[in-house]
Structure 1
């Protein structure tokens, strides 16, 4: 998909989609690609879709043409041995050495850590589903992440942001040289950076509440989660809101080199 370009040179981004579209997301949003475009894309950009879960990757010789890459969540384990996951790790290592901007979301956050030398696995405390307060390590860092202009216009909560979560795996150890920049009472590594071109976020800045509610229903129907957990997660969504605008701003600033 191409967003109408203005007078500035066109920037080009790629989404590595590691999950297949649910029937709900296809019906309501036209697919996860559109969900990510709504959250992260801006005027004058070209975004390409690669369904890596189905073995679809760009040509290696084309990687230099991209300004940044986003890697989505997935129902697969980031520590799994599926062929496409091994190939994805190789691509991520290549992009790291090319110093390309790479943003990993949920599974993407975890597999980035794996590819670059960190450790990931099952959370010993089980599923994290619903809204979660993520604590940024320093107040000043949050201002840097969202940008000074946005911080001046919209009062920010003190070093914490609410985000939608849906995962049972987590990062156990970040790669050597990476920096943990956010954590929560449930998960020790909610965000990390590696240099100025790698960022991982455990939660889902792109998710809307209705997408998560539908996912909760599917997980409950498949016997993956218990009814009590599903009901608690939905209740939290009814009474609270994720800080979606802040998260979208953080992701856009990172991808566009504004932070």
Structure 2
């Protein structure tokens, strides 16, 4: 199954010699699950020729805000709406979660309560479990788009995951605010890269949380299941 990765950002340059870029992180996360990948660097204006160029689409994280004035964001939103119209399954992670929701009419903004980082417990009622995943975001989806439902939440982020149907009521898209593609080593380097602008006690608390076991593989299995079956709870 061919998955097109819509690459909407790059890791900080100062970390590029120690960690793979975001597209490679996702390919590593989903390795061995029956998926092949093409990568389109949409942040640099490199879009797929059509929505039908892949069997499914995966939208990555980004340092940009979905609400910011970047030339590539409106065509990305158009692409997302075309994917819905053609029922091509789509997954968004972090910025991908936010821009997908924005394309569907939700409000995305910088959260007044600050930044979430480190290992966070997310309640996922569809699968009846609480999963621990890494977070690093200051923006949040603030409203639920019409026709979507919340599938993940935390004490800090109420709309941390969404599921969408297409015009015919079939599962079309799902998205998560946390990062199943991140590992603890990258998270601590990312926190350090931004630490000058972060409260010291929050930095220490985030780093202390990184000893918790992460549910990255559980989410990877369910992402692959969603691409193949349309059901996030099928794994």
Same fold (TM over 0.5): yes
Structure 1, residues 107-159: CA drift from partner, whole Å, max 9, x if none? 1000000001111112121100011111122xxx21xxxxxxxxxxxxxxx62
**Other-structure match for 1:6:** none
Cα distance in 2 for residues equivalent to 1:118 and 1:110? 9
Structure 1, residues 221-253: CA drift from partner, whole Å, max 9, x if none? xx3312221111111113x12111211112111
**Other-structure match for 1:130:** 118
**Other-structure match for 2:157:** 187
Cα distance in 1 for residues equivalent to 2:110 and 2:33? 39
**Other-structure match for 1:206:** 181
Structure 1, residues 49-101: CA drift from partner, whole Å, max 9, x if none? 111111111113xx213111110111111111211111111111111111111
Question: How many residue pairs get matched?
Answer: 226
**Other-structure match for 1:87:** 75
Change (3 A) 1:130 1:43: closer
**Other-structure match for 1:55:** 45
**Other-structure match for 1:242:** 214
Cα distance in 2 for residues equivalent to 1:45 and 1:182? 24
1:68 aligns with 2:41: no
Give the alignment's TM-score, normalised by structure 2: 0.90
2:120 alignment partner, SS class: strand
Structure 1 residue 29: Cα displacement: 4.5
Give the alignment's TM-score, normalised by structure 1: 0.82
**Other-structure match for 1:154:** none
Structure 1 residue 41: Cα displacement: 3.8
2:198 alignment partner, SS class: coil
1:251 alignment partner, SS class: helix
**Other-structure match for 2:32:** 42
**Other-structure match for 1:173:** 143
Structure 1 residue 43: Cα displacement: 6.0
Higher helix share: 1
Task: Please give the residue correspondences for 1:211-222 in structure 2 after superposition, counting only pairs within 5 Å.
Answer: 211-220=186-195
Cα distance in 1 for residues equivalent to 2:214 and 2:20? 23
**Other-structure match for 1:226:** 199
